Chains A and B, each alone.
Chain A
Amino acid sequence: MSGTDSVIALTSPEISVKLFVTDDSVVRPLELIAVFHRWIKDDSLEDELVIDVANYEHVPQGPGIVLICDKAHYYFDVRHDRWGMRYRSRREARAVGQEAVARAFRSALHAASLLENDPALEGRYRFRTDQVEFGIYDRLRAPSTEDTLEAVRPALDATVEALYGAPAKGYALQSGPKEPFMVSIEAPGAPDVSELLGKVAATAG
């Protein structure tokens, strides 16, 4: 992929960031239905027009419980048997390039932080930050290839540096050729969600 292609990959509106929970055994997905409905009532997600909650708990390794928004979905999903909070932007790109990546991190971190601090969940949900999954659901602009990874690497590098204060330890393409582009980011540290959220807020603008 050329430099131009890197711009193309990150003009996609379909960017995702997933933060994994530290302990899968604490997850009781159905309890999140009530939590998400309350978020809607309380307008907990600024910047989002939240529409509804979808329940896919019955589907193994599926999207879990989904908060459907106008320009994003927030999945508490269990793809590949790992629970986590996945933010996935949709429709129009609200930003491109590194800004798009930083915004996606911010949204995922914000939702994770809400879960960590939700009184109904009694602090059971904690998220790890030493490993993050970044993805682009756009097979036209960002096929699942090492080339796409190379193309988006500068933006990922810049975001990781800004958040963690050091370069990523590594990136690994996780997705097969038929899947949406997914890359695992091995972060240089494991700061708290709240700490990262503070830093990314400044970066994402």
Chain B
Amino acid sequence: MKAIDVSNLNKAYRGEDMVLEDVSFDVQQGEFFVIVGPSGCGKSTLLRIIAGLEEISAGTLYMNGEEAGSKRPNERQISMVFQNYALFPHLSVRENILFGLHVKKIAKQQQQERCLEAAHLLGLDELLDRKPRELSGGQRQRVALGRAIASEAPICLMDEPLSNLDAKLRTKMRAEVRQLQRRLGMTMVYVTHDQVEAMTMADRIMVLNEGSIQQIGRPLDVYNYPQNLFVATFIGSPPMNITKTTRKGRRLQLTDGWTAAAPDLTEDVYAGVRPEHLTYAADAPPSFFATVEHLEILGTETLLMFRMNGELWIAKWPGQWDFREGQNIPLKVADDHIHFFNAATGERIGSRPLPAGLTMEAAL
């Protein structure tokens, strides 16, 4: 069943520019749905609309099969974790976790049980009587999660919940949040600007840019078949390498001596190659030669930078490769690893539509 169903949603703050434009998507029950996009693209606005903290300008919002656009936040059966955690500084961890439960007419005894259960799940047992200021960033984060868990709302909304944590803790919490969601079977709508979070946590991701949806799909589908140039360069680190092509009869030329079969199109075409698909042509005939401009050896992998028609391209290889800067090396790209995009619209050209029938229902 669809936990959330958004159709043709528009949002403008007080008659200003459109912040969200014609947004339509749905979230299945029990799904971990990640909304990802650069800062300022309208992610928080969308989440706050789902929460009922902002009004819809046009379009419809259904939650659990019922019209929800006009419902108050507390009637939507949601919990929300804010970026700054929204902990009450004057209340103890226990009181923070239990905040507002009295409204749902839950017996005191049961409230305490829920609190202990949530605290136990998050490893907060020892900290229940502390104030938020006596906690570390990660512990505060857990208290915020604890409130969401104790409310037992079927839908949980999270707005960049990990962005205030340091890198190590973030990796740890990523796994924790994901496991928690699975264990409790809640529906999660998770907002982030970090494409790594999106890729690693999501059942499906929705890429948003400047208020409109760029692509919705399973992380690997989005990675392997980006719908347009924006998605191609936003998802993946380092991003996909892009270059302009010139037409040479029935083929497209990417650079001197490197051509590929031309798609059936008369407009200009951009070609894109993921960094890991640029391989070193030791024996095979190379696609082209590149002059090493810069090398970053990270231990487990090596980033090799060179110029392609003036653009900076990056190749990513596992292991440690020791080239010198200025060295001319042969590179190879398999034909089916080249992505083509319409230069005018940025849309992906032809090849490989998403595998049919693989919707969330089937995947779950």
- A and B form one complex: no
A-side residues, CB < 8 A to B, are none
